[in-house]
Structure 1
Amino acid sequence: MVERRDAAAGDAESADGGSAAAIPSRLRAALRRRLGIDPRALAAFRIALGAVLLVDLALRARNLTAFYTDAGVLPRPLLAESYPLARHSLHALSGEAWAVAPLFLLAGAAALALALGYRTRVAAAVSLVLLASLQARNPFVLNAGDTLLWQLLGAGLLCPLGARWSVDAVRGRGGAPRARSQPETDRFAGPQSALLLTVVLAVYVSNAVVKLRGEAWPAGEAVETVFRLTYLHGPLGGLPPESPALLAAAAYGWLALLVASPLLVAAAGRVRAALAGLLVAAHLSMAFTLQIGVFSVISAVGLLPLFPPFVWDRTETLAAPAIGRLRSAVDGFSEPLDCGAATGSLSGVGLDRPTRGRLLAAVAALLLVSLLAWTAMGLGVVGAPEPVAAVSDPAESDWDMFAPEPPSTDDLILATATTADGDRIDALYGDPVAVDRPPSDARGYPTARWRKHFSLLPVDDADRVDATLAHLCDRAAGLSDAETDSVTVSSVEVDVSGDGEARVRAVGTRECR
């Protein structure tokens, strides 16, 4: 439910500030300010979440055959062998690209509907199912950003994401304008909002604790080490100046933001807005300088629910003309929806609104307790019970990015295809290379997912190595007019913290004909 500040109660509290009866009301108001979320913040979160889902799909689609079909690096028999439950993924029902591509299109349609706020809860549920299925199809190309994306989407599913700035909101009230007397400081508060905020906070707190346990971050050396890793360079990765003092300041600044992250919930108002704004700016700078997939962008999206009402007051003022045009366009689109349909509710299963609210709150409360317990076990605050440890190790957290110490070796790749004419081309990029290709010619990876694939490819797993080489044979054939004879792959590690020594590790060679 969306809880509203009671002005009369506020006046009574002011008049009788010392009374014991006023303390619970003040405590509730303080908790609502910290754990509640402005409905407009949820709307901005929904729009950005839909956009990120679309971007993620577009980036994955570039390598649809490579990562999600039997002609790629992980055919379904190998997937079933490595992850038996993953064979139930919708994306694993067929190994052909023509069967997987429609699922990408369906996920894109659901993400677009989510961004527009059309049948919002249904769109969010469909997006979550298809995202989980897509991630299960190839777990070997996932990173922390993928984990955060489904967690935010799952927590958002329990919140009224379509209450504002959405097609549902306009059509559900027949296009009537929102009453201007309704307080702009209303907040959606409850276990659902607490869960969404805790998902975000757990990332920063966990990362802060792990970084403080190492030596590089407290010494201010970590950022300089990270920027020496050329395989992580994003579009602007080579631009940061090679200034130890500046890079040390960046390391201390980021560590300070992580340590201060509990204020995202403990504080309110301008302090919270300032801290969230700094974190958003830091994440967006990472998106341009580091090749780490969608993690930076989805982290920035996760911070949107933390911005307080005054930020959205200003946003609505600036966006009023565009909002008016959108409302007019939606008004004439079709018949108004009833409230249950507008939010994609559970009315179809016979649950009234109070019952649905209690059910969603109970589910969120259970998930919140589980998340807090899992985070505590992952940080070693409490021990993991035997049944939990037997299934998964909470200590193997996804939130230890570059912690406790950043990598000290630059991880590069040599993927060389030999054609029937005796020429050599790079099997990943397609350009000509030297006949005797030296380790110094090793390159970074085309995408963060290719890097993840090769980093999780054991040389002693003959089946997975052979599947990768077979796909590179097909890939090289499409990059050259000449027939491909063979493909050879080696990884090259360059020590960036010492003498720059290069170590070459052979991955494998395969005849393509």
Structure 2
Amino acid sequence: MSDSRSPPPAASVRARLAAALTARFGIDTRALAAFRISLGLLLVADLALRARYLEAFYTDAGVLPRALLYDLYPTLSQLSVHTLSGSLWVQALLFLFAGLCGLALLLGYHTRTALLLSFLLLVSLHARNPGVLNGGDSVLRRLLFWGLFLPLGERWSVDALRRVETPRERAASLASAALLVQVVLVYAVNAVFKLRGDLWLDGEAVRYVLSLQQFTILLGDTLAQFPALLHAFNLLWLGLVVASPLLLVLTGRLRTLLVLAFAGMHVGMLLTMRIGLFPLVSVTALLVFLPPAVWDRSVDRFSGSVERAAGRLGLAPRLARLRPDSGSASEQTAGSRLATIRRWCGRAAPAVVAVLLAAILVWNAMAVGLVSPPDDGGLTLNPSGNTWNMFAPHPPTADWWYVAPGELQSGERVDAYYLSPPVEDRPDTMEMYPSSRWRKYMGDLRYADDDRLQREFAEYLCSRWNRAHDEKLATVTLSYVSQPTRFDGPEPTERHELLTYNCSTGA
């Protein structure tokens, strides 16, 4: 009689371990398809939002001409093809090309090529003007990068229609683990910084943020009237980011519920705070955590309905034509060579992913102080200056806005920033900053170590005014007004003058 208490065979243990790791670090290919579609939409939306201020942010006529970019960022500027020209039409063509790549990624048309081009163009765009970047931009870059190592075109794509073989159900590799770990690191590092802030631990941080006019939109002003509710949201969000490693531990329904909790908080941010596309980027990142059961119950039913509708409309034969035939001998030879290159790249990819995954783990450990940075031989290695510390450890507790009183050649007083008569009272949110990128840029402008940034902005205000008005601007004074939040008393304002600029002499 066999002993029922005997240890299980080693093969069985390995199988169970592999299944456990796959359930936690594998990604459903339908989740990857939704992830790809969302990335494409984000890229197109991001370009559309940036294009509103194309001249101001990305040309030599704007706030950061290429000559100043080269001086301030000598290394980073070399990564940008957008610096090939300072003309508006060249930047418009680059935006258009990037938009087409984003659409190709959305449709899954030559997915890997579209993804690579989108990633390179995004890096180039970010390097053209680092002063307008935020945490969402950094996350989006990383999502695109890790996507290069994953089969994003496996489902729901033009590439899938052209493929003969059956698609995989799940992608489980070091690359899938790297993507999931990257997303969790964003939350986990942010949690470490939040736990170091008294306002977060006291439950007052969210109340302060939503008290600031520069951030609040839509429901933000309404929620600001309910301090007890904001206190609860503060502690809930703090609890979620602290518990974020559970995204890698839980499976099935529990993981789904945690993903929905994170997504719900990000949707809340979208409806209350003016922080650009960051909430939507975060929701996109969470898609890859959704387990197969979610897609079995929802999306597959929808896709089945689409396939039946396509059959009734006679579209199936047309779609079948997208699949490649055997082709000529030369085409077969080229395809064989391409397949060989792909095999070699596939063999090298795990090693590259392993090195990069180790690098980001060490980098984030240095950012939170768990690991000391190495001696960099005089270079500046400061991970804490480029990490996930949004509103942490200390959230902003004061509103601030710019004024730019100027004098026309006739002696009349105006405000060059608002293109209006002199501003006496606090402007509304949309007048303060036309977009979240303008707020980010103007925020950094206050503390710029190099006053050339402030002078270039003053020059931009002069040229913008003079293009729009017959009477020219003679001088402009760049200042900002700060107003601290006081929940129990008056909120005084204080004006800080940065410089006075002569529009004629540039001094």
TM-score in same-fold range (> 0.5): yes
Tell me how far 1:84 sits from its aligned partner.
Answer: 0.5
* Equivalence for 1:272: 255
- Counterpart Cα distance in 1 of 2:316 and 2:58: 37
**Counterpart pick for 2:370 among 370, 381, 391:** 381
Residue 468 in structure 1 maps to residue 457 in structure 2: yes
Tell me how far 1:99 sits from its aligned partner.
Answer: 1.3
- Counterpart Cα distance in 1 of 2:196 and 2:325: 54
* Equivalence for 2:387: 398
Q: Spell out the pairing of 1:423-462 with structure 2 (5 A cutoff).
A: 426-430=415-419, 432-433=420-421, 435=422, 437-438=423-424, 440-441=426-427, 444-457=432-445, 458=447, 461-462=450-451
- Counterpart Cα distance in 2 of 1:509 and 1:82: 22
- Counterpart Cα distance in 2 of 1:22 and 1:459: 61
* Equivalence for 2:318: 332
- Counterpart Cα distance in 1 of 2:337 and 2:456: 46
- Counterpart Cα distance in 1 of 2:317 and 2:459: 54
Q: Structure 1 residues 351 and 295, CA, compared in 2 at 3 Å: closer, same or farther?
A: same
* Equivalence for 2:289: 306
* Equivalence for 1:200: 183
Query: Pairwise CA RMSD of aligned residues?
Result: 2.7
Tell me how far 1:480 sits from its aligned partner.
Answer: 4.8
Secondary structure in structure 1 of the residue aligned to 2:403: strand
- Counterpart Cα distance in 1 of 2:427 and 2:133: 27
* Equivalence for 2:331: none
* Equivalence for 2:398: 409
- Counterpart Cα distance in 2 of 1:304 and 1:165: 15
Tell me how far 1:350 sits from its aligned partner.
Answer: 6.2
Tell me how far 1:19 sits from its aligned partner.
Answer: 4.3
CA contact (8 A) 1:429 1:446 kept: no
Q: Structure 1 residues 347 and 260, CA, compared in 2 at 3 Å: closer, same or farther?
A: farther
CA contact (8 A) 2:211 2:224 kept: no
Q: Structure 1 residues 84 and 456, CA, compared in 2 at 3 Å: closer, same or farther?
A: same
Residue type matched to 1:72 in 2?
A: G
CA displacement 1:59-112 (0-9 Å, x = unmatched): 111111111111001111110000012333100111111111110001000000
Tell me how far 1:233 sits from its aligned partner.
Answer: 1.7
Q: Spell out the pairing of 1:230-245 with structure 2 (5 A cutoff).
A: 230-245=213-228
Q: Spell out the pairing of 1:119-198 with structure 2 (5 A cutoff).
A: 119-173=110-164, 186-198=169-181
CA contact (8 A) 2:373 2:381 kept: no
* Equivalence for 1:315: 299
Residue type matched to 1:141 in 2?
A: V
* Equivalence for 1:360: 349
CA contact (8 A) 1:227 1:233 kept: yes
Residue type matched to 1:496 in 2?
A: T
Secondary structure in structure 2 of the residue aligned to 1:402: coil
- Counterpart Cα distance in 1 of 2:63 and 2:153: 39
CA contact (8 A) 1:428 1:446 kept: no
**Counterpart pick for 2:103 among 112, 128, 149:** 112
Tell me how far 1:370 sits from its aligned partner.
Answer: 0.9
- Counterpart Cα distance in 2 of 1:103 and 1:387: 36
CA displacement 1:136-162 (0-9 Å, x = unmatched): 001111111111110110001110000
CA contact (8 A) 1:67 1:74 kept: yes
- Greater mean deviation of Cα atoms: 499-508 or 164-173: 499-508
- Counterpart Cα distance in 1 of 2:317 and 2:96: 27
**Counterpart pick for 1:227 among 210, 216, 236:** 210
Residue type matched to 1:83 in 2?
A: Y
Q: Structure 1 residues 499 and 390, CA, compared in 2 at 3 Å: closer, same or farther?
A: farther
TM-score (norm 1): 0.87
Tell me how far 1:169 sits from its aligned partner.
Answer: 0.3
Q: Spell out the pairing of 1:31-50 with structure 2 (5 A cutoff).
A: 31-50=21-40
Residue type matched to 2:323 in 1?
A: P
CA displacement 1:175-225 (0-9 Å, x = unmatched): x9x69xx8xxx3200111011111100000001111111111111111101
Q: Structure 1 residues 460 and 119, CA, compared in 2 at 3 Å: closer, same or farther?
A: closer
- Counterpart Cα distance in 2 of 1:254 and 1:494: 27
CA contact (8 A) 1:167 1:330 kept: no
Tell me how far 1:422 sits from its aligned partner.
Answer: 6.2
- Counterpart Cα distance in 2 of 1:282 and 1:22: 41
Q: Structure 1 residues 272 and 368, CA, compared in 2 at 3 Å: closer, same or farther?
A: same
Gaps of 5+ in 1: 1-15, 340-344
CA contact (8 A) 1:91 1:100 kept: yes
- Greater mean deviation of Cα atoms: 489-498 or 476-485: 476-485
The number of equivalent residue pairs is 482
* Equivalence for 1:52: 42
Tell me how far 1:477 sits from its aligned partner.
Answer: 3.8
Secondary structure in structure 1 of the residue aligned to 2:399: strand
CA displacement 1:349-397 (0-9 Å, x = unmatched): 6636554322222221111111111111111111121139834211224
- Counterpart Cα distance in 1 of 2:316 and 2:269: 37
Tell me how far 1:133 sits from its aligned partner.
Answer: 0.5
Residue type matched to 1:468 in 2?
A: F
- Counterpart Cα distance in 1 of 2:145 and 2:220: 32
- Counterpart Cα distance in 2 of 1:394 and 1:240: 35
- Counterpart Cα distance in 1 of 2:77 and 2:235: 44
Tell me how far 1:506 sits from its aligned partner.
Answer: 1.3
Q: Structure 1 residues 388 and 283, CA, compared in 2 at 3 Å: closer, same or farther?
A: farther
**Higher relative contact order by CA 8 Å / sep ≥ 6: 1 or 2?**
1
Secondary structure in structure 1 of the residue aligned to 2:225: coil
**Counterpart pick for 1:100 among 50, 73, 91:** 91
